[in-house]
Structure 1
Amino acid sequence: MGLTHEFFLLRSESDDEPVEQVVLSDNLVLYIWDSFRWIPAFNPSTKENHVGLNYHGITLIRHEGANLLKDICLSWSSLFSLAPSTLQLTGDFVMDENGNGRYEKLNFTRDDLTKPLTTLAAIADRAFLENYIIVHHGI
């Protein structure tokens, strides 16, 4: 399946039994990464509040970041819902063994993009409304 980012909805920071969860592909996360860097969050390894998700490791998204995460996910899902049923996105710039560079072409179905984002938006909405927490596990 490749690299993934997991998002878990927990009742509290001390809870280890997820209420809900969703997995996003790393390719999708990288494509929308800049907007994920706007989310107020907490880094448990440094014990500091910051803005944005930790690409590697764990990020906690509390009440103040959950509503923004919901809006970001719904916005991207709405945009992707306008795409054809199969689509190609531009990925990272990569070099081959001969030193030739090109941008990766990422193939998706529309549902590959909209469904996990809609699910994450619903999880974020629940976190905001019920004062739950979202734990993001980066790659």
Structure 2
Amino acid sequence: MSLEHEFFLIPKDLKLEDCFDWYSENRYTWKDKVGIDDSLIRYINDTLKWIPSLKQGKTSEFYGLDYYGETIINYSGAKKLYQVILAWIDIFSAAPSKFKLASELIWVEENETDGYWKREYVEYDRELVVENFKKISQFAEVTQQGNNFILHIGI
């Protein structure tokens, strides 16, 4: 099973410090959620760093997603998230029905003295990727109306 980042559309009255408890209680039953493969998040991560967000332990806004923890995307971040995700939807919509993206560079040892670097590739289904990104864009649209937040749970 691959690692996954989860995104939830939640009511805005949830406090950041309560997110983990909320997540533990609602992870499997909440209907407004979407999971994105970790390799895909890493692939688009440079553009996610443009998104204003909030994370636990920080009193001021920061940018991007907390890779290992909880991130809240509020009204101001939702507008930028919407723009970024729509751009990726356009790009991935142009992909073949099955496509591969470069992932990790790993060291492969052949014996005690020899080895080489190998690039890993992850295969994706275009329709599933586009569908999941459209869900996130819908979460961002709703969040811009001011009654919700997007909760991101990292790996």
Instruction: Report the TM-score when normalising by structure 2.
Output: 0.82
Closer, same or farther in 2 for the Cα pair 1:94/1:13, shift >3 Å? farther
What percentage of aligned pairs have identical amino acids? Answer: 31
Q: How many angstroms does 1:41 deviate by? A: 0.6
- Match of residue 12 from structure 2: 12
SS at match of 2:12: coil
Deviates more, 1:73-82 or 1:129-138: 129-138
Q: Tell me, in whole angstroms, the C-alpha distance in 2 between the residues paired with 1:66 and 1:19.
A: 19
SS at match of 2:144: helix
Tell me if the contact between 1:7 and 1:134 (Cα under 8 Å) persists in the aligned partners: yes
CA RMSD in angstroms, aligned pairs only: 1.7
SS at match of 1:96: strand
Structure 1: 5+ residue stretches without partners:
none
Q: How many angstroms does 1:67 deviate by? A: 1.1
- Match of residue 142 from structure 2: 126
Runs of at least 4 residues off by over 3 Å = 15-19
Q: Which has the larger radius of gyration?
A: 2
Map 1:96-135 onto structure 2 (within 5 A): 96-98=108-110, 99-135=115-151
Map 1:42-121 onto structure 2 (within 5 A): 42-98=54-110, 99-121=115-137
Q: Amino acid of the residue matched to residue 121 of structure 1?
A: S
Structure 2: 5+ residue stretches without partners:
16-21
Count of residue pairs the alignment pairs up:
139
Instruction: Report the TM-score when normalising by structure 1.
Output: 0.91
